[in-house]
Structure 1
Amino acid sequence: MSPPLVASPLRLLPFHAISLDTGRTGGRTVARALARPYRSVTDRLRSWERRGRLLRDPEPAVYVHEYTTSGITVRGVVGAMDLSRRAADDGARAVLPHEGVHTDQARELAERMYEMQVNPAPILMVHRARPATRAAVYRAMAAEPWQTFEDHDHQRHRIWAVRDPEALAQLQQSLSDTRAVIADGHHRYDAYLRLQESHPGTAWDRGLAMLVDQDDTPLFLGAIHRLLRGTSMDDVRRAVETSRGLVWSEVGETDAVAALGPGALVATDGRRWAVATFTGASVEAPTCRAAVEVLHHDIVPRLDPAPTSTEYGHRVDVVLRRAEPGRAVAVLLPAPGFDVVHRIVAEQGLLPEKATSFQPKPTTGVIMRSVADG
C-alpha cells in the first residue's frame, strides 16, 4: 500500500537532538540502546545521559548534518517534519514515497516507536534544492560545528545547529515548495503518519527527517538485482517476446554485461546469457522507464509458470552464484537515475519493491529525537 500524503509546504521544525556518545555511535551500542523492552528505552537513554554516554542538546534547533564514508560526503538538513496536514490532491504533496509499504511492518514499527517515545533515526529524503536553501545551509556551515567526530563505524560527522530565528525563517521559506523523494525509511514514514493520526495535536505531529540536496552532495543510487526461482531462460525468453516493445537477444557473457544500462537488463542461468532491451530508453534519454518497472510490470506477469520466489541482491556476484539452468534465473538491473525515480513518483506512481539503493546512509544514533522533549 502507499502511505498517506503529507501536504505542502514542507516544514522541518526545530527539536532537541539527542545522540549517543561518539565512541559508541554505531555498532552494537545502538542495538542495545533501542532493544526490547521498548518501554524501557526512554529510561535507558536518560540513564546513559546521566553517565555521560548520551548528549542532549539543551536548546531546540534544525541541524545541518554532514557525514563522510568510503570517500563519499553527504550533507542534509535534519528537522522534525510537520506531518499534521494531508494533501487533498497530487499537486499538493510535499513528500513523495517511491515504494509501497507492508501494512504489518509499518504497524509494528509504529507500536515500537510509541513504546520507545523516540524517533531513533531520521528518514532520508532527497530533492534538488533551490539556491536559497543551499545558501542557508552554507551560512550555517560558516559557524563552528556543534559536533565533529568519527564514529565507531569510521563514518566522519560534522553537525551544525541552526537556532537563530531569522535563519530558521529563511530556511523554512526556501523549503516551502519542495517536493522530496523518500530515499530510505518508507515504513518509518508510514509509522510516523499512523502515530500522528492516533495522537493529533501532540509531539507525534512531527517525525524526524533528513533532507539531502542531490545536486550538492548526491547520494549514490545502486541497483538491486533479482533471482527468479522456479524459472528457466526459455520461460523468460517467451515472456519477453510476448511483451510489447521488448527485444530478446542471446549473446555471450562479455557482451551481455557490456549491454547493461538504461534501456537494457540482463538475464542468465549461469550458462546462457541474454539481453532484453526496451524502446524509449537511451543514455541520451535519462527519463526513460526504469528497468525494474519493465521487469516487474511487463516480464514477470507473463512468466508461465510464475516464479516460485524472488530473491534480491545488491552484489552481482552473489546473485550470479545462485543462478541455475532450468531452476533459477538471475536478472541484472541497471541502477535507475534520480530523475527517473522523481518523474515516476511525481506522476503518482510507485516503483516495485526494492527498486533502489540510496547510499551511503548516516549511522544510527548520531541524531535521534525524544518525543518526550516535544
Structure 2
Amino acid sequence: MEPSQAVTPPYLATPLRLEPFRALTLAPQRVGDAAAARAFARPYREVAGRLRRWQATGRVLRDETPGLYLHEYTADGITVRGIVGALDMSRRAPDLASRAVLPHEGIYPHRAHDLAERMLVMKLNPAPILLVHRGPAETRHVIAALLKEEPQRRFTDRGDQRHRVWPIRGADLDRVHASLLDSRPVIADGHHRYAAYLQLQQAHPGTAWDRGLAMLVDQDDTPLQLGAIHRVLRRVKLTTLGDALVGGPHALEASSREAAVSALGTDTLAVTDGRTWAILRLDLQGDRSAVEAFHDDVLPALATPPAAIGYLHTADETLHKVRRDRDLAVLMPAPDFDLVHRIVAHDRLLPEKATSFQPKPSTGVLMRSVDDE
C-alpha cells in the first residue's frame, strides 16, 4: 500500500459530546484472554447472538442504566484513566476552527470500509477508540471524587492488566458534559475505527450509528507513554543514504553504536546496516518532527526508494530484523505529545506509524451494543 493512498478522514464539529450508553463487559476471566477474541471473529453475523447467549450464562455482563464510565487500567506499572462514552459523530466541521477531534495520521479507505461493515454486521463497538487531551480541571474534580468511592468492577484480567470501573451518572454526568464541550483531543489509537464510525453515521443517520465508542484520557492526569516506532529500510545501503544527503541540510556522520544510540534525540537519528553505525542529524524548522523530516526530505532524496519499510516498536527487534549490509535500521526518537498536538492543530498529518501511545486497554472491559439504544 503506497502512502499516497492514505487520506484525511472528515472532521467532527464542536462541541465534543460523549453520550451515555449501556456497557457490556466480558466476564473478568475472559478479558485479556486470547481465546476470547473468538467472540468477535468470523462469521461476524453471529457475534450479536453469541454475546446475547453469553449474557444469559454470565459470561457477558450488561448494565441496565446508561452512563459514562471512568475506566482505570494498570499495565507494566503504568496507570491510565479515561472517560468512556458514545462519541457523537453526527456533525461535520465546516472549517478547521470547528474541529472537535484531531486525527494525526491518514487512513486507508478500504480498511475503514471493512471495519464499518464488520461493526454493522456485529451491531457492536467491541472496543473504544483512544483519544487524548489535556483535560479541564472540572473533569479531574469529578474523577478525583469517584476514586474515593468503591468501583463498580475491580479485577485483574488474563493479560495481567488491573482494571477498575466506575459509572458516571446524574449530576456528575452533567458536570463532565459541560467541562468537555471545548475539548479538542487527538486520536491516539483507532484512526480507522474513527473513520468507520463516520461512514456508519453517514449511511445510517438518526440511528444508534450516530455514535461510536471512545475513551478520553487526560494527559495531565495519567499520561499515555509515547514511544518511538523505528524503521527498517529494505535494500538500502548506508553509502546510498550518505550520498543522498551530501550538500543538503541533513548530515550523516560515522559513529560507534554507543555514541549513535546516546545521540538519539529530537533532531538526531541512529542508523546502522548491521555492521557500521552513523548519526543522522536533521534540520528541523519550526514545529516539525523528526519523523516528518525523515519521510518528507530524507527518503525522497534516495536514488532508489526502499524495496519495503518495516515498522518496529523496540530497538532490539529493529536491529534483529536487519539483514547485514543489505538493509538499514533507523532508530527514531520518541515523539512529544505537545508537538504532535501543535502539528495536527495546524492541519498537518504525521506519516504512517509515527507514534505509539501505550499502554492500551484490554478488549472486552467496555463494549457498546447498538441494539441497546
Same fold (TM over 0.5): yes
Deviates more, 1:137-146 or 1:34-43: 137-146
Match of 1:266 in 2: 270
3-state DSSP of counterpart to 1:81: strand
> Is the 8 Å Cα contact of residues 287 and 343 (structure 2) preserved in structure 1?
no
> Is the 8 Å Cα contact of residues 162 and 168 (structure 1) preserved in structure 2?
yes
Identity of aligned residues (%): 54
1:291-330 alignment, distance < 5 Å:
291-330=290-329
> Is the 8 Å Cα contact of residues 66 and 158 (structure 1) preserved in structure 2?
yes
Q: Which of the numbers 218, 222, 243 marks the counterpart of 1:217?
A: 222
- Paired with 1:59 and 1:241, the residues of 2 have a C-alpha distance of 65
Q: Deviations over 1:206-248 (max 9, x none)?
A: 00000000111001111110010121111111223354x3222
Match of 1:173 in 2: 178
- Paired with 2:156 and 2:232, the residues of 1 have a C-alpha distance of 37
3-state DSSP of counterpart to 1:95: coil
Deviates more, 1:67-76 or 1:22-31: 22-31
| Structure 2 unaligned regions, length at least 5 | 1-6
Structure 2 residue identity aligned to 1:202 = T
Q: Deviations over 1:333-356 (max 9, x none)?
A: 001010111111111111111111
1:321-340 alignment, distance < 5 Å:
321-340=320-339
Match of 2:352 in 1: 353
Structure 2 residue identity aligned to 1:332 = L
- Paired with 2:94 and 2:128, the residues of 1 have a C-alpha distance of 25
- Paired with 1:241 and 1:160, the residues of 2 have a C-alpha distance of 58
- Paired with 1:78 and 1:193, the residues of 2 have a C-alpha distance of 18
Match of 1:148 in 2: 154
- Paired with 1:242 and 1:62, the residues of 2 have a C-alpha distance of 56
1:121-270 alignment, distance < 5 Å:
121-164=127-170, 166-243=171-248, 245-270=249-274
Match of 1:57 in 2: 63
- How many pairs align? 367
- Paired with 1:18 and 1:92, the residues of 2 have a C-alpha distance of 32
> Is the 8 Å Cα contact of residues 117 and 371 (structure 1) preserved in structure 2?
yes
Q: CA deviation at 1:28?
A: 2.5
1:14-53 alignment, distance < 5 Å:
14-53=20-59
3-state DSSP of counterpart to 2:74: strand
Deviates more, 1:23-32 or 1:100-109: 23-32
Match of 1:276 in 2: 280
Q: Deviations over 1:43-64 (max 9, x none)?
A: 1000001011110000000000
Deviates more, 1:128-137 or 1:47-56: 128-137
- Paired with 1:94 and 1:241, the residues of 2 have a C-alpha distance of 43
- Paired with 2:297 and 2:16, the residues of 1 have a C-alpha distance of 35
Q: Deviations over 1:15-35 (max 9, x none)?
A: 000000001112234311111
3-state DSSP of counterpart to 2:361: coil
- Paired with 2:354 and 2:35, the residues of 1 have a C-alpha distance of 30
Relative to structure 1, is the Cα distance of residues 149 and 325 closer, same or farther in structure 2, using a 3 angstrom cutoff?
closer
> Is the 8 Å Cα contact of residues 268 and 280 (structure 2) preserved in structure 1?
yes
Structure 2 residue identity aligned to 1:213 = D
| Structure 1 unaligned regions, length at least 5 | 282-286
Q: Which of the numbers 12, 15, 25 marks the counterpart of 1:9?
A: 15
Match of 2:3 in 1: none
- Paired with 1:260 and 1:312, the residues of 2 have a C-alpha distance of 18
- Paired with 1:138 and 1:336, the residues of 2 have a C-alpha distance of 29
> Is the 8 Å Cα contact of residues 64 and 75 (structure 1) preserved in structure 2?
yes
RMSD over equivalenced CA pairs, Å: 1.3
Q: CA deviation at 1:298?
A: 0.6
- Paired with 2:287 and 2:334, the residues of 1 have a C-alpha distance of 12
